[in-house]
Amino acid sequence: MNRPVSEGRETARPARMGPWRFVVWFGTVSLLADVVYEGARSITGPLLASLGASSLVVGVVTGAGEAAALGLRLVSGPMADRTRRFWGLAIAGYALTVVSVPLLGVAGVLWAAGVLVIAERVGKAVRSPAKDTLLSHATAATGRGRGFAVHEALDQVGAIAGPLLVAGVLALTGNDYGPALGVLAAPGIAVLLLLFWLRARVADPEAYEREVTAAALTPATPETRHGRLPRTFWTYAGFTAATTTGFATFGVLSYHLVQRHLLTAAWVPVLYAAAMAVDAVAALATGWLYDRIGPRVLVALPVLTAGVVALAFTDTVAIAVAGSLVWGAAMGIQESTLRATVADLVPSGRRATAYGLFAGMVGAASLAGGALTGGLYGCSIPVLITVVVAIQVLAVVLLAVTRVDRR
């Protein structure tokens, strides 16, 4: 069992690999997992449409999936802090995801596909606070921004490979979704094997953060599993929720591309893979800048979010594709630098709880954003753009009043 720093003694042996190696191996786990679930997500919109879904249904299902992935962390985050079973929760969450995706390929009715889409995201909810906390300990030694960015970049290698693999199988089978999703079972098995190996090598990743504190000859911040989270954390969570409310899901973007005959279903995963490549570059760039200039770099996120709806919902192929690539850049910031900032705001003993609460607010915003973009898309695209831009202005204001103490 891991214990907080305040207990004044180490109860587990030091980590058996360096912090950068841990970040890279954990990134490899995410790489393989992304082959599985990003391969599936790249065709969620067309798959649901093939089963009879409207644009509103696609927006609600994908938005509900993101809400589940984020909102349920309100439970899994405090559970991780209370039980200190970070590895167990991470493994359980990954297992749920890698089982749900192949089953999605044999779902023949809309309601079953919708349930599996959400189930895959529930797996992410179970694992993410624990996973982010484990990773945050290692990034105390590597640099928060750089560590989370490298992890995200490796993650996105899988996010590129998965959609390309799915696109290839779709092309070979005449757009048969069953084999395209079934082939993703193999990397799913590899995810679980690698996780068990990594847990055996580094049973106590918190040792990385303890070593940094000791080397700096700095008194440890008093750790507690109870009490209030910092006020700045709540302001920061409000900023993130606001910018996420106007963020369109790729399900809605891909629905637009296919329904307006801008791309075929087989080309959508290829575009998704390109967006994931942009995601990786944006994560590395903003992570590097975060370690140098702090959270000011996050102002790029609301700007990119507004750009997505302005570009992606046009009827010109090149502009719509550009909007999807901008979506990828925004995702890169969301999945790396936003998470790194939470680790700088909250001490270790409450960090999983903070990640859970943070994600819960973002989850509610994701559900609202999925319904907002899906609903307004069917009514008026100019109104959709206007509403999203207004929300992003509010997000910039909230960011301006956030102050982060970067340790």
Write out the H or E segment, with its range, that includes residue 92. helix 86-104
Task: Say what the pLDDT of residue 184 is.
Answer: 92
> What average pLDDT does the segment 32-55 reach?
83
The pLDDT of residue 214 is 63
Average pLDDT on 129-133 reads: 90
Q: Give the model's confidence band at 114: pLDDT under 50 very low, under 70 low, under 90 confident, else very high.
A: confident
Binned at pLDDT 50, 70 and 90, residue 215 comes out as low
**pLDDT for residue 7:** 35
Q: What span, in angstroms and rounded, lies between the C-alpha atoms of 352 and 346?
A: 9
Tokens 């700007």 sit on residue: 303
φ, ψ dihedrals at 57, nearest 5°: -65, -45
> How far apart are the C-alpha atoms of 48 and 59, rounded to whole Å?
10
Lowest mean pLDDT among 286-290, 336-340, 402-406: 402-406
| pLDDT for residue 221 is more than 70 | no
**Reduced to 3 states, what is the DSSP secondary structure of residue 263?**
coil
More confident residue, 278 or 53: 278
Residue 54 sits at φ, ψ, to 5 deg, of -90, 175
Is the entire prediction scored with pTM above 0.75? no
